[in-house]
Amino acid sequence: MAKTFLLLGALAMALGVAAGAFSAHAAKGAAHPDAARLLQSAVLYHLVHGLALVAVGIIARGGTSPWLGAAGVLFVVGILCFSGSLWYLAMTGRSPGPIAPTGGLAFIAGWLALAVHALK
Domain spans of the chain?
2-119
Q: What is the pLDDT of residue 80?
A: 98
Q: How confident is the model at residue 120 (pLDDT cuts 50, 70, 90)?
A: confident
Q: What is the pLDDT of residues 5-22, one digit of tens each?
A: 999 999 999 999 999 999
Q: Which residues contact 35 (CB under 8 A, 6 or more apart)?
A: 26, 27, 90, 91
- Stretch 20-47: mean pLDDT: 93
Nearest by Cα to 74 from 7, 11, 15, 8: 8
> Average pLDDT of the chain?
96
How far apart (Å, rounded) are the C-alpha atoms in residues 73 and 86?
20
Q: Which residues of 45-58 are buried (b: 16+ CB within 10 A; e: fewer)?
A: bbbebbebbbbbbe
Note the pLDDT tens digit of each residue in 70-119: 999 999 999 999 999 999 999 999 999 999 999 999 999 999 999 999 99
Q: How far apart are alpha carbons 38 and 40 in whole angstroms?
A: 5
For 99, what's the count of Cα atoms within 13 Å in the CB-facing half-sphere?
17
